[in-house]
Chains A and B, each alone.
Chain A
């Protein structure tokens, strides 16, 4: 078992075009680091230099926005599904 991460179109250049990749970690931050070890550069698009979640990326754990859980510290378990969507925003 592992955690499935669903990747949006704009980030599939990091996953060789794959729509979903799998990884491991006890928290969202650990999962991103694990994914980055095989898909280099992905973490940098999701996490800012201060280590917090990029403001214009939405990350969901199963059906919840992780901003309402624990952000980058959100605990994960085997079998969870993480969905990443670019925020749609502007001025």
Chain B
């Protein structure tokens, strides 16, 4: 299960809406081993594409170093789909390389309604998990 505050949930949705029709992406960092999503870091989509995303490599180095210094890890990796459902694509599954992360998918295909789902992706296997919104 993924537990998120309403504030972080809203921040992901706002980022996805802001970058639509391109895919938006980012992480929520939290203390190593805690599974607590605490600090959102919206990332650039270096591909600036409606069908693909990739973190900018230099920004990723800076953000990953910062997490190291703070003893954090990426608890959530999120990205949006702008024309399809909020479910990991074959590409998403093939490229998932953070075994400990919750993969959050947001779909902005409907202008007035946002799909928001969370998954684990491990060795090519996708499993959906419930999301609990706290305080």
Contact = CB atoms under 8 A, between A and B. Distances in A.
Interface of A: 8-10, 56, 58, 60, 63, 65, 67, 83, 85-91
Contacts of B1: none
Interface of B: 25, 27, 43, 47, 51-55, 57-58, 60-61, 64, 73, 77, 79, 88-92, 95-100
For the complex of A and B, list the 10 residue pairs with the smallest distance between their C-beta atoms, beginning with the closest.
A91-B91, A86-B97, A90-B92, A89-B54, A88-B55, A91-B89, A58-B57, A65-B57, A89-B95, A91-B52
A88 B91 contact: no
Contact of A88 (B60, B73, B90, B99): B60
A86 B100 CA distance: 13
A2 to B, nearest CB: 21
- Tell me which of A56, A67, A86, A90 has the highest count of chain B C-beta atoms within 10 A of its own C-beta: A90
B83 to A, nearest CB: 11
Contacts, number: 65
A58 B60 contact: yes
Contacts of A90: 52-53, 79, 88-89, 91-92, 95-96
Contacts of B54: 87-89
A60 B52 contact: no
